[in-house]
Amino acid sequence: MKPQPVALKVLNVVSVLLFLAALGMVFLYAPLEETMNYVQKIFYFHVANAWVGMLGFIAAAVAGVVYLVKHDQKWDIIELAAVEISLIFFITTIITGSIWARPVWNTWWTWDTRLTTATILEMIYIAYLLLRQGIEDPDRRARFGAVYTIIGAISVPITFLSIRIVSRTIHPVVIGATNGTATGSFNMAPQMLFTMFFALFTFSAIFVTLFWHRIRLGQLAQQVEQLKLEEF
Amino acid sequence: MLEYSVSIKYMLAGYTVFLAVPAVYLISLVIRVRNLKRDLQTMKEFQKKNPK
């Protein structure tokens, strides 16, 4: 494995610093929301995690398309890396959403439109990882992965738009007009909005850093697999 | 309005998840890289001992 490039080392440091700055903004800069008070602070990282999660699933689909065009294994590595990291961010979104919901909605979970579509999205990509493992031939596996992520990506806009299309939902809409049945909505002060966008930027940087590390791991795994195929 | 003590409890739980999940993932990345490097080393040694 080649040593980490300087750009990646810089990204490692920048990601940590941005994360600490984002934490500082959430706790020291963003004002306390009047009704939910402290638990509302989950919102900043919750939205940021959901954002990078969805971004990664779309990136995986793009990598899938490129693989089908070029038939180059490196795009399969990129696709797998994007899915794996997005799953981590998205499961964090679901868990923290549930923690926020307990005091605000008075329940850990409800089969609301957004929660249901988000769960289906997560399941689709968990299944992707499981199914991939069952295919030994690298080319078949990559072809399967490419087609799967392209079709799977359809669930991303469905999840994003679900609370904007369905009128009876309990989940608040962050950007755009919220509906009357939503519980836990709040008026965002300019400092809150700025903190949210800073968190989005921070988690995008963290995503890129992790993505790069995961691609390097994928390249190493490919090298090992290639040697095993040659020998056995 | 939520009670501060209740609200803080859930906020702390949320931020624990925000820190713990990526931390576990990072550890898994480090372990996987270490294992793959070991596998690569083993394969190279095997090739040296058993040239085609």
Helix axes A42-70, B4-49, angle to 10 degrees: 30
Report d(CA A131, CA A151) in Å as an integer: 15
For residue B3, count other CB atoms closer than 10 A to its CB: 10
pLDDT of residue A87: 97
Q: What is the pLDDT of residues A82-131, one digit of tens each?
A: 999 999 999 999 999 999 999 999 999 999 999 999 999 999 999 999 99
Residue A179 has pLDDT above 70, yes or no: no
| Stretch among A11-20, A21-30, A170-179, A194-203 having the lowest mean pLDDT | A170-179
Look up residue A171 and give its two tokens.
Answer: 């989940």
Report d(CA B37, CA A5) in Å as an integer: 18
Q: What is the pLDDT of residues A140-156, one digit of tens each?
A: 999 999 999 999 999 99
Kindly give, in sequence order, each residue whose CB lies less than 8 Å from that of residue B31, ignoring residues fewer than 6 positions away.
none
Residue A8 has pLDDT above 70, yes or no: yes
Average pLDDT over residues A187-209: 94
Residues of B in contact with A34 (CB under 8 A): 1
What distances in angstroms separate CA A225 from CA A129, A228, A231, B41, one per listed residue?
17, 5, 10, 13
More reliable by pLDDT, A168 or A152: A152
What distances in angstroms separate CA A159 from CA A54, A61, A122, A152, A171, one per listed residue?
9, 16, 10, 12, 12
Q: Which of A35-39, A74-78, B39-43 has the highest mean pLDDT?
A: A74-78
pLDDT of residue B47: 85
| Nearest Cβ partner for A38 among B11, B29, B39 | B11
Q: Domain residues of chain A, as ranges? A: 6-29+40-231
CA of A224 vs chain B CAs: smallest distance (Å):
6
Average pLDDT over residues A62-79: 97
Going through chain A in order, the beta strands assigned E by DSSP cover: none
**Which burial class, exposed, middle or buried, applies to B8 when counting CB atoms under 10 A from its CB (0-12, 13-18, 19+)?**
middle
Average pLDDT over residues B1-7: 87
Report d(CA A158, CA A137) in Å as an integer: 32
Report d(CA B37, CA A224) in Å as an integer: 9
For residue A90, count other CB atoms closer than 10 A to its CB: 24
pLDDT of residue A159: 93
User: In chain A, whose CA is at the least distance from the CA of B24?
Assistant: A88
Q: What is the pLDDT of residues B24-43, one digit of tens each?
A: 999 999 999 999 999 999 98
| Nearest Cβ partner for A224 among B8, B14, B39 | B39
Q: What's at B3, amino acid-wise? A: E
Kindly give, in sequence order, each residue whose CB lies less than 8 Å from that of residue A83, ignoring residues fewer than 6 positions away.
A56, A57, A60, A125, A128, A129, A149
CB contact under 8 A, A91 and B21: yes
pLDDT of residue B32: 97
- Show the 3-state SS of A120-167: HHHHHHHHHHHHHHCCCCHHHHHHHHHHHHHHHCCHHHHHHHHHHHCC
